[in-house]
Amino acid sequence: MGERKKYAIIVAAGSGTRMGGDTPKQFLSIGGKPILRHTIEQFLSLSFPVGIIVVLSPEKKAWWKQYCTDTGFLERYAVPSGGITRFHSVSNALQYLPDDTVVAIHDGVRPFVTTEFLEKMFAAGEEMGNAVPACPPVETVREVSGPESYVLRRDDIRLIQTPQVFRSEVIKAAYKLPYDPSYTDDASVAEAAGYRINLVEGLRYNIKITTPEDLEIARLRLGKATLASRD
């Protein structure tokens, strides 16, 4: 069997309640473009073609389609509806994923992934069946139990990021499991289905834009990148 085709599921159905305001964070504009577009453009910049599947809330699908039409962005893509949880959103998206492929499942509000990092993740996921980016914490970590707290060994802790990359047969089999609230990401679903999770080195500045403070950081980074591209 030859090299598998690559796909990206971009999860962007959240309401962004922690950000405040009426506009979900993935649609906030930085440098003249929505954060979601910045994220998708990273996948479109790779040295191989990537099929794009964008998971959106039903009420935002018409807006996104009109935006793509008006700006000439993303002529071909699938746009499944988001579910009541991230698990359900990804499950809906997997119905659009062909067999015998490799898929990167990524948060729509993580726009700082690089071409090199994404290509590394796709290669690792295709080779090992799954690949999950992880970073060691740089701050002291404590576990809280009621009024007490206990320090944890940083060497034993990893902070998990996206994109999490899987062979299609692995992640499709995993998502046949019934929903459980403990499934906080795709790796936790695959692990519950019996797959060993392969951690690979993450990208330190691959932050998820969740709070107003994150948004300020994003505006600084993405704004500078936009200005540099115009020089």
Tens-digit pLDDT profile for residues 137-186: 999 999 999 999 999 999 999 999 999 999 999 999 999 999 999 999 99
C-alpha to C-alpha distance for 55 and 63, rounded to whole angstroms: 13
Segments making up each domain of the chain, as ranges:
5-230
Q: What values do phi and psi take at 149, rounded to 5? A: -145, 155
User: Please, how many CA atoms are within 13 Å of residue 185, restricted to the half-sphere of its CB?
Assistant: 18
The dihedral sign for the CA sequence 10, 86, 98, 106: positive
75/58 Cα distance (integer angstroms): 19
Percentage of the chain lying above the pLDDT 90 cut = 83
User: Is a pLDDT exceeding 60 seen at residue 1?
Assistant: no
**H/E run at residue 116:** helix 115-128
**Segments of 83-158 assigned E as strands:** 101-107, 130-135, 141-145, 148-152
Whole-model pTM: value is 0.93
In which residue are the tokens 């300020």 written?
Answer: 216
CATH hierarchy code of domain 5-230: 3.90.550.10
- Band (221; pLDDT cuts 50, 70, 90): confident
